[in-house]
Amino acid sequence: MAEEKVDIKKVEAKKEKINDDKPKLKKQTTGMKILTVIFSIVSVFYVAPIIVVLFNSFKTKTSISSSPFTIPDAESFYGVQNYVKGMTFGNFDFYKVVLCSLFITVGGVFLILFCTSMAAWYITRVDSIVCKIIYYFCIFSMVVPFQMVMFTLSKTADKLKLSNPAGILIIYLGFGAGLAIFMFSGFVKGIPLEIEEAADVDGAGPLKTFFGIVLPIMKPTFISVGILETMWIWNDYLLPYLVLDRNDYRTIPIHIQYLNGSYGQTDMGAIMALIVLSIVPIIIFYFVCQRYIIEGVVSGAVKG
């Protein structure tokens, strides 16, 4: 009987606690609804330009100039002709442009992830003055505006024969190392050192420890850094424009720029069509991998 009385008291205490928490839950739910409405409205302003570009890519040039914010109708609809114009413009094959952008993006992201992940692990685990100096130099590179170094960079790239898709990968590694090392270092600080010590006792060398143990644990940050670097390199215009020999190599943003003012006029329809073709792959890639961004950024920011 005593046990039954104790159980009844516990149940009643839990009910009272739940009743006390109900107003708080209602307040939190109301607050979340308000935030959802606010951020939904804000998101409309971000999505609106993309929708406008998509609509205009199917309209004639005169319709784009006279009514850029309207939905294509029977009179203004131009079909896929803008896409055909954009892809067949000039004497430069569009498939070469796509392959150049793809090679630079994939190669640059791979080089950044491969080099900076190992560098961040070494910098974090080796507690020396040299490593700390290297780390702070990498952090400092994040706050240096690109405009301060772009003219010197262009001349240096010409002298070192880096004005090609393979050479620009090294330049992207230099500019992307700051953010990548910062995020990787923050995550490595949260990995228990005992795991690596156990691998060392079992006879695993540094390379086997990194690729067999550390790298799989770093997967969230590895993916999030890869997504951020991919979006940056794929959409980058200024660095390839300054470095690459544009007579032989062009990325998609550079190719779009050549449509602006061609033959004394601007074909806005073709420009809109190529913009759509350039943003659709990266949007799809982002939506597929977006959940890893928050996970990786939070993991690298709060640990250590």
How far is Cα 3 from Cα 87, in angstroms, rounded to an integer? 80
Measured between alpha carbons, how far is residue 137 from residues 68, 81, 175, 226 in Å? 47, 50, 12, 21
Judged against a pLDDT cut of 50, whether residue 303 lies above it is answered with no
Q: How does DSSP classify residue 70?
A: S
Give percent of the chain with pLDDT exceeding 90.
15
How far is Cα 242 from Cα 237, in angstroms, rounded to an integer? 9
* pLDDT, tens digit, 9 for 90 and up, residues 52-92: 888 888 888 888 888 888 888 888 788 788 888 888 877 77
- Listed in sequence order, the residues at least 6 apart from 181 whose beta carbon sits closer than 8 Å to its beta carbon are 116, 119, 120, 123, 135, 138, 139
Judged against a pLDDT cut of 60, whether residue 18 lies above it is answered with no
Question: Can you list the alpha helix ranges (DSSP code H) found in 126-164?
Answer: 129-141, 150-159
β-partners of residue 59 are 77
- Find how far residue 130's CA is from the centre of its chain: 30
- Tell me which residue has tokens 């005593």: 2
Contact 56, 271 (CB under 8 A): no
Q: Structure pTM? A: 0.79
How far is Cα 230 from Cα 236, in angstroms, rounded to an integer? 10
Fold of 89-302: MetI-like fold (1.10.3720)
Contact 221, 296 (CB under 8 A): yes
β-partners of residue 77 are 59
Nearest to 254, CA basis, from 265, 243, 264:
243
Give me the mean pLDDT over the 161-174 stretch: 90
Angle at CA 228, nearest 5°, toward 97 and 104? 25
The pLDDT of residue 105 is: 94
* pLDDT, tens digit, 9 for 90 and up, residues 184-197: 988 888 888 888 88
Give percent of the chain with pLDDT exceeding 70.
85
The pLDDT of residue 180 is: 92
* pLDDT, tens digit, 9 for 90 and up, residues 227-270: 889 989 999 998 999 888 888 888 998 888 887 765 556 778 88
The pLDDT of residue 154 is: 85
- Listed in sequence order, the residues at least 6 apart from 30 whose beta carbon sits closer than 8 Å to its beta carbon are none
The pLDDT of residue 65 is: 81
